[in-house]
A and B are shown apart, each in its own frame.
Chain A
Amino acid sequence: GAGVSQSPSNKVTEKGKDVELRCDPISGHTALYWYRQSLGQGLEFLIYFQGNSAPDKSGLPSDRFSAERTGGSVSTLTIQRTQQEDSAVYLCASSPPWAEESYNEQFFGPGTRLTVL
């Protein structure tokens, strides 16, 4: 079946502009995660959605970052007033419902490479 998809694959923006990154999880997956990968910081968690529960935002680095998940499926990560340190690859992952044995196995999309000039 189809995997996690993300768009755009690459995004170049100017400092101070807002950007939106999109993630389509695997159909039927209830949990959705955002991570980012940068040279200096490795792979770090940003935000986690589980069904209709309030999201875990504990990894968001600043209030310029926000995310929403509409209808329990597609998610959008928004970065306002982008800074050069926001340059990274933003990765989305999803995992199956609680009822499945490997309910917490995460599957990753191809990522969005964000470059802030």
Chain B
Amino acid sequence: GIQVEQSPPDLILQEGANSTLRCNFSDSVNNLQWFHQNPWGQLINLFYIPSGTKQNGRLSATTVATERYSLLYISSSQTTDSGVYFCAVATGANNLFFGTGTRLTVIP
């Protein structure tokens, strides 16, 4: 299967700080999704971004498919941003391969 590496594994931020999370993947994909797993375990869709750049409020993401990486930017972080961020990739409509996640803790 496709290998997905996320970095950093853990990140602690002061409220208001900015951060960048990285996702590297080992093969060509046509699906890349970023998720936020909240404290109740629900996977919340952040971005569907197999290529290009998207923005949604304080969050934005960029995928450079030819170089097999994606970045998730969080600006002006808030305590509610805490949780685990997952990157997942797939080819076609096949199953997603998940990274091991970045655990973000935002302290007030």
* A-to-B contact residues, CB < 8 Å: 31, 33, 35, 37, 42-45, 48, 50, 56, 59, 89, 91, 93, 95, 98, 102-108, 110-111, 113
Size class of the contact patch on chain B? 20 to 34
Does residue B41 face the partner (Cβ distance < 8 Å to A)?
yes
Report the number of A-B residue pairs with Cβ-Cβ less than 8 Å: 55
0/1 per residue, B47-77, Cβ < 8 Å to A?
A: 0100000000000000000000000000000
Q: Are A103 and B41 interface neighbours, CB within 8 A?
A: no
With A91-B43, A93-B96, A104-B94 known, 16 other A-B pairs at CB within 8 A are A33-B95, A42-B100, A45-B95, A48-B94, A56-B94, A59-B95, A89-B41, A95-B93, A102-B48, A104-B31, A105-B45, A105-B48, A107-B45, A108-B42, A108-B45, A110-B41
* B-to-A contact residues, CB < 8 Å: 30-31, 33, 35, 40-43, 45, 48, 86, 88, 90, 92-98, 100-101
